[in-house]
């Protein structure tokens, strides 16, 4: 094993990447950047039935969006390719043959039905439900007889009897497993395709992976993979770190009931990648008890596996929103406007022009404090782009306001300078004269001019909209 840190993520492309895998990717990427190492992307696409081109593209797109560019892998090249497992089938097949030749694996002719039947019996007799070793010591004649029946064997790994496999996990300390707990497992299916257990082991060896950092759900895979390494005659062992489970606020495994679990859902709702990265890193790692906001450069400097905890980490959308608000507010008006363009376009607002961008730049400082997600902006800024029809709540506020709105229009008509200060002065004077509280005075104006009650601050909104359009909308609402 060489001195260079080599880490990997190995997503199975079944669409947008799960937030748990995104966190693993981030931790691996940070670890590589920090150590001048290599971050490898290896795609687990041997299950051809499930992998579509779109799902494959979505994984790459999510990683790019998060800024987790891989040093080796699809599109990036590298000396250890190919990096799609579907292009490496020969390696797995020959590794399996090799294990058979050396007595570490054997053909298993049991059918699914036979296995299921015996599993039921074992359960009824309170014996462990795993594979019972039925084909462990078949003679050549017995094998030949099965073959003659037309059975195609799967290949199983022969787990050594009466042994302990232990490894030091950076997060969890020493993790020992007795081999009685590990039934002989399939490494090559009867159709010749490799299982995850075999393919991952072969590739981690072939790609010279030095550190395996992955979710705790894969903890049971590790002793199996270590046994296979040993059986393959590999003496060097990578460093393992198993990241804590992600749970929902109800303490159960992360589920869709509590919000989205796919990264692209967050992108579509207007979370910034810097907020997502900052949030993901906190799911299991902390620097101290106080600091929550970290730039990527700070993370590269400060992240360490030693500070990854064992306790499950709660995925809390409120905290993600809070961070997103922080990163939204730290953008310049120009940058924020640029981020908002696609969200406006998706909401049918023609903001994708020079004029539209200028409008968004002007309104950005007014909405920035109110945004937790970029997708919240279109309803707030729509009034600047098109004529308005009051929504339900606005319509309610507008009931019986005709006379008042006529007076408002007259007061604004008289203004010589169309500035938010002058507008505010005129409207406050009018309200005081009529004995109106601010809310009573200003909500109807907001409703008439913007069609909603969620617009940015009123006086600035009117200034931006311009005198002519403001008066026209007041007059339309007082008809």
Question: Are 142 and 106 spatial neighbours (Cβ–Cβ below 8 Å)?
Answer: no
58 binding partner (options Zn ion, ligand GLU, none; Cβ < 5 to 8 Å by kind): none
Out of 49, 120, 126, 256, pick the active-site residue.
Answer: 256
21 touches ligand GLU by CB under 6 A: yes
Q: Given candidates 11, 73, 153, 194, which one binds ligand GLU under the rule CB under 6 A?
A: 11
Is 108 or 388 the residue whose CB approaches Zn ion more closely? 108
Element housing 441 (H / E): helix 438-450
200 touches ligand GLU by CB under 6 A: yes
Q: Which of the ranges 8-16, 70-78, 184-192, 313-321 carries the binding residues for ligand GLU, by CB under 6 A?
A: 8-16
Both structure tokens of 83: 């990096």
By CB under 6 A, the count of residues binding ligand GLU is 8
Q: Which residues of 303-330 are buried (b: 16+ CB within 10 A; e: fewer)?
A: bebeebeeebbbbbbeebbebbbbbbee
218 touches ligand GLU by CB under 6 A: yes
302 is catalytic: no
Q: How many CB atoms lie within 10 A of CB 36?
A: 8
Place of tokens 């809310």: 439
Question: Are 378 and 349 spatial neighbours (Cβ–Cβ below 8 Å)?
Answer: yes
CA distance 265 to 18: 10
Footprint on this chain of Zn ion (rule: CB under 5 A): 108, 110, 134-135
225 binding partner (options Zn ion, ligand GLU, none; Cβ < 5 to 8 Å by kind): none
214 binding partner (options ligand GLU, Zn ion, none; Cβ < 5 to 8 Å by kind): ligand GLU
CA distance 244 to 310: 5
Is 10 or 154 the residue whose CB approaches Zn ion more closely? 154
Q: Which residues of 202-235 are buried (b: 16+ CB within 10 A; e: fewer)?
A: bbbbebbbbbbbbbbebbebbbbbbbbbebeeee
Is 225 or 359 the residue whose CB approaches ligand GLU more closely? 225
Tell me how far, at minimum, the Cβ of 62 lies from ligand GLU, in Å. 13
394 binding partner (options ligand GLU, Zn ion, none; Cβ < 5 to 8 Å by kind): none
Question: Are 81 and 39 spatial neighbours (Cβ–Cβ below 8 Å)?
Answer: no
Tell me how far, at minimum, the Cβ of 204 lies from ligand GLU, in Å. 8
Tell me how far, at minimum, the Cβ of 233 lies from Zn ion, in Å. 26
Note the residues at the interface with ligand GLU (CB under 6 A).
10-12, 21, 44, 200, 214, 218
């Amino acid at each position: 094993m060489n001195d260079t840190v080599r880490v990997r993520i190995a997503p199975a492309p079944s669409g947008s990447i799960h937030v748990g895998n995104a966190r693993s990717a981030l931790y691996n990427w940070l670890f590589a950047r920090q150590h001048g190492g290599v971050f490898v992307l290896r795609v687990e696409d041997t299950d051809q039935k499930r992998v579509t081109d779109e799902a494959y593209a979505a994984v790459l797109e999510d990683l790019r969006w998060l800024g987790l560019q891989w040093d080796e892998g699809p599109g990036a090249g590298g000396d250890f390719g190919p990096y799609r497992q579907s292009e490496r089938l020969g390696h797995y097949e020959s590794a399996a043959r090799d294990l058979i030749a050396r007595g570490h694996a054997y053909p298993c002719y049991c059918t699914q039905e036979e296995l299921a039947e015996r599993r039921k019996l074992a359960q009824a007799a309170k014996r462990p439900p795993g594979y019972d070793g039925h084909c462990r010591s078949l003679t050549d004649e017995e094998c030949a007889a099965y073959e003659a029946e037309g059975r195609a064997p799967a290949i199983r790994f022969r787990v050594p009897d009466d042994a302990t496999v232990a490894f030091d996990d950076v997060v969890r300390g020493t993790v020992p497993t007795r081999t009685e707990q590990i039934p002989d497992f399939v490494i090559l299916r009867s159709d010749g395709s490799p299982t995850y257990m075999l393919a991952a082991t072969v590739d981690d060896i072939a790609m010279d992976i030095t550190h395996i950092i992955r979710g705790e759900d894969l903890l049971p895979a590790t002793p199996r993979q270590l046994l296979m390494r040993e059986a393959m005659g590999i003496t060097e062992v990578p460093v393992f770190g198993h990241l804590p489970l992600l749970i929902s606020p109800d303490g159960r495994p992360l589920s869709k009931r509590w919000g989205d679990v796919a990264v692209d859902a967050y992108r579509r709702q207007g979370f910034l990648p810097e907020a997502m990265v900052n949030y993901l890193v906190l799911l299991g790692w902390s620097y101290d008890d106080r600091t929550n906001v970290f730039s990527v450069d700070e993370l590269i400097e400060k992240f360490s596996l030693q500070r990854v905890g064992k306790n499950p980490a709660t995925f809390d959308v409120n905290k993600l929103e809070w961070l997103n608000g922080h990163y939204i507010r730290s953008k310049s008006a120009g940058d924020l406007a640029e981020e908002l363009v696609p969200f406006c376009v998706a909401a049918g607002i023609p903001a994708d022009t020079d004029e539209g961008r200028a409008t968004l730049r002007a309104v950005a400082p007014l909405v920035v404090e109110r945004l937790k997600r970029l997708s919240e902006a279109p309803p707030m800024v729509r009034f600047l782009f098109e004529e308005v029809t009051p929504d339900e709540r606005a319509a309610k506020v507008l009931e019986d306001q005709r006379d008042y709105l006529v007076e408002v229009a007259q007061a604004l008509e008289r203004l010589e300078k169309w500035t938010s200060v002058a507008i505010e002065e005129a409207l406050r004077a009018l309200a005081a004269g009529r004995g109106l509280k601010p809310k009573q005075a200003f909500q109807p104006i907001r409703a008439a001019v913007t069609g909603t009650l969620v617009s940015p601050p009123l006086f600035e909104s009117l200034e931006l909209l311009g005198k002519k359009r403001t008066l026209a909308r007041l007059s339309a609402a007082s008809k």
